[in-house]
Amino acid sequence: MSKIPYPLASRENHPENSVVQVGDIQIGGKSATIIAGPCSVESRDSYVEIAIELQKAGAQILRGGAYKPRTSPYSFQGMGEEGLRIMAEASDITGLPTISEVMDVETLPLVAHYVDILQIGARNMQNYPLLKAVGKTKKPVMLKRGLANTIEEWLMSAEYILSAGNPSVILCERGIRTFETATRFTLDLNAVPVIRKLSHLPILIDPSHGTGHSGYVPALSRAAIAVGADGIMVEVHSNPAEALSDGPQSLTVEEFRRLAPHIHQLSDFCQPFFEEAKNARTAKISVS
């Protein structure tokens, strides 16, 4: 028995892929999941309006930030509880589940009360008290990779959540810091097959933060599905030029409308490739 530092997250101890169920949606199931929404919730009317459009266009989970980790303390910090309340209303109207970032232990009960999936942001990937706290909740947690963290460190952070008693962990690759400046971050698509090999946890790709430019988001969204990700999370805004955060990387609703069916089609097309890989892995592990 090898000494794996992350026994609960490892595939060796859990050969089958994990599926995280959120309402009717299965993240890590047969088809790709699309999470979409603006970076931040900015007002009730704009959020409800875009939520309805996104639902019609093929989004399955709504995103929106209410507590925002901004580089500058002078930038918009999010609407706080009011933003969460707006997301809950949009969820009631559209029937779609929601995801929002929880930034600290203090606001965790509030965020957990209003949304269906807790997002741990890249900057908090190694906030161990927060990881332990979300591990004690019963809500699915989407753990983003830190912008300067290795895959092993990422899996160790997942282990914190799993070992605190919460089995519903979803990983999300959102780009890492490299010497490249043409894009905001470098989207590490290598992480998908590497995670597939090392872990049973579902993995999503966030091409919005991963590139920082809306023009690159459709190509990297398609690449994410082709490389075997369980889905994508993309930022969409009704008027990106006026967005209070991350406008340059936000798709317009029309761009999302064009992209979403391609993601679902690609997911159906690619599924047999990954089915085969999954069976091969499972067989190999059960022999040893």
Q: Which residues bind ligand PEP (CB under 6 A)?
A: 39, 65, 69, 121-123, 144, 174, 209
Q: Which residue is nearest to ligand PEP (CB)?
A: 121
Figure out which of the listed residues 27, 34, 39, 171 binds Mn ion, where binding follows CB under 5 A.
39
Query: Do 61 and 99 form a contact (C-beta atoms < 8 A)?
Result: yes
Q: How many CB atoms lie within 10 A of CB 178?
A: 11
Collect all residues with Cβ–Cβ distance below 8 Å to 45 and sequence separation of at least 6.
none
Instruction: Please report how close the Cβ of residue 117 comes to Mn ion at its closest, in angstroms.
Output: 16
Instruction: Please report how close the Cβ of residue 200 comes to ligand PEP at its closest, in angstroms.
Output: 23
Handedness of CA 204, 210, 212, 215 (dihedral sign): negative
Which of Mn ion, ligand PEP, none sits in contact with 262, Cβ below 5 to 8 A by type?
A: none
Figure out which of the listed residues 41, 246, 253, 256 binds Mn ion, where binding follows CB under 5 A.
246
Q: Which is nearer to ligand PEP, 123 or 257 (CB)?
A: 123
Which of Mn ion, ligand PEP, none sits in contact with 121, Cβ below 5 to 8 A by type?
A: ligand PEP
CA atoms within 13 A on the CB side of 158: 33
Burial of 103-139, coded b for 16+ CB within 10 Å and e otherwise, reads beeebbeebbebbbbbbbbbebbebeebbbbbbebeb
Which of ligand PEP, Mn ion, none sits in contact with 125, Cβ below 5 to 8 A by type?
A: none
Which of ligand PEP, Mn ion, none sits in contact with 122, Cβ below 5 to 8 A by type?
A: ligand PEP
Residue 99: its H or E element: strand 98-101
Collect all residues with Cβ–Cβ distance below 8 Å to 192 and sequence separation of at least 6.
173, 203, 205, 224, 227, 228, 229
Collect all residues with Cβ–Cβ distance below 8 Å to 21 and sequence separation of at least 6.
27, 168
Instruction: Please report how close the Cβ of residue 120 comes to ligand PEP at its closest, in angstroms.
Output: 8
Looking at the DSSP assignment, which residues form a beta bridge with residue 189?
none
Interhelix angle for 128-135 vs 151-163, to 10°? 40
159 binds Mn ion (CB under 5 A): no
Instruction: Please report how close the Cβ of residue 90 comes to Mn ion at its closest, in angstroms.
Output: 18
Instruction: Please report how close the Cβ of residue 39 comes to ligand PEP at its closest, in angstroms.
Output: 5
Which of Mn ion, ligand PEP, none sits in contact with 135, Cβ below 5 to 8 A by type?
A: none
203 binds Mn ion (CB under 5 A): no
Which of Mn ion, ligand PEP, none sits in contact with 69, Cβ below 5 to 8 A by type?
A: ligand PEP
Query: Do 135 and 166 form a contact (C-beta atoms < 8 A)?
Result: yes
Q: Which is nearer to ligand PEP, 71 or 181 (CB)?
A: 71
Q: Which residues bind Mn ion (CB under 5 A)?
A: 39, 246
